[in-house]
Amino acid sequence: MIYTAAALASLAALAQGLVIRDGCTFHLDVDGTPVGQVEGGQAKFGNGLKATNFVINGDVLSDGTGRGCWWTPPTKVLQCDAGQAPTSGFGIACDGTFSYKGQTQFFKCESGDGLWNIYLEDGHGQNCGPISLRSDGCHADCAPPPPPPPPAPKCPVELTGSWEFPHLIVPVDSANPDKASGTSYDGNVSPTVSSIFNFDIPAGDAGKTCQLVFLLPKKEDLETSDYKLSGSGALDFVWLNGVANLQTTYNNAPGAKMDLGTVTVAPGNSYAIANFDCPAGQTISFEIKEGGGADTNLWYFQDYNPSPIGLYITKC
């Protein structure tokens, strides 16, 4: 059988296990310092060593001369040898991060002459430390980040559109902790008195956003209501973990589910207290308490006639 010189050369290469260089060529670096090779094929970096051409074909790695790259036992140092079948498992992420079987942290150890060896594992040399390897090519573009979520709908603070009026207002008094005052038309807050407000959220509000709001207009803008405010105006708004009823007292009132924060109110202002998913088909309760300074006194007649005053839930 007659072979051409080219065929003989190809058979010789295959017999030696050389990599056929039909992959993608790239360079590696460690924090901007190029990875090169010494004459024996060992991958190193530092001291001005020039960058080596590496070739990746699927998940196997060779150098620019076709030598197969592997982690040489027993120390598992990165080296490319003639006649060596390349180790599989190499990869390059979309941002250029070089990996081996998912491992992206490698290790450097001093080898002398200002050069560093690259190891798969730690503890095989002097002055070792963790490194990462980065490729300058042979990777797909990273997918763009997902778009930010749409902004939460901003429900109106004023009573426009759909809104809810409290269906029960119950004052409780720490100075008379077992007294059930029953229903009231007023909001009343003092150092000892707080008011609980029940809201019935219709089943049809499923999927909507609810916003708890507190309205305190100027007195001259009121037509059918009134209020008295003294002290700092600090009010603490609390979402309760149960609902009030006509027998609710200070001692048996529901506990706090979530403190919504303290707001210092002043005439002529509207306040958005909290936004939340409307609990459709449920009754929920909120409490307004003195805000901690022990000097706020507020009484008002809850009224939605111009201008509305008190605690409401708007929806959007």
pLDDT tens-digit map of 43-71: 999 999 999 999 999 999 999 999 999 99
pTM: 0.56
Please, what's the b/e burial string for 160-184 (b: 16 or more CB within 10 A of its CB; e: otherwise)?
Answer: eebbbbbebbbbbbeeeeeebbeee
Domain ranges of the chain: 17-135, 162-315
Chain centre distance of CA 170:
40
Non-local CB neighbours of 147 within 8 Å, separated by 6+ positions: none
pLDDT tens-digit map of 235-251: 999 999 999 999 999 99
Architecture per CATH, 17-135: Trefoil (2.80)
Per the prediction, the chain carries an average pLDDT of 91
| pLDDT of the residue at 152 | 65
pLDDT reading at 189 higher than 90: yes
Residue 234's pLDDT band, with cuts at 50, 70 and 90, is very high
Cα torsion for 30, 32, 36, 42, to the nearest 10°? -10
| pLDDT of the residue at 292 | 77
pLDDT reading at 302 higher than 60: yes
Chain centre distance of CA 183:
44
pLDDT tens-digit map of 141-175: 899 888 887 776 689 999 998 999 999 999 999 99
Between CA 163 and CA 186 the distance in angstroms is: 19
- Whether 162-315 and 17-135 are alike in CATH topology: the answer is no
Structure tokens at 239: 């979402």
pLDDT reading at 262 higher than 60: yes
What CATH number matches the domain at 162-315, 3.30.1380, 3.90.1570, 2.60.120, 2.40.160?
2.60.120
| pLDDT of the residue at 150 | 75
pLDDT tens-digit map of 69-80: 999 999 999 999
Between CA 306 and CA 288 the distance in angstroms is: 22
Average pLDDT over residues 289-311: 93
| pLDDT of the residue at 61 | 96
Residue 178 CB-half CA count within 13 A: 0
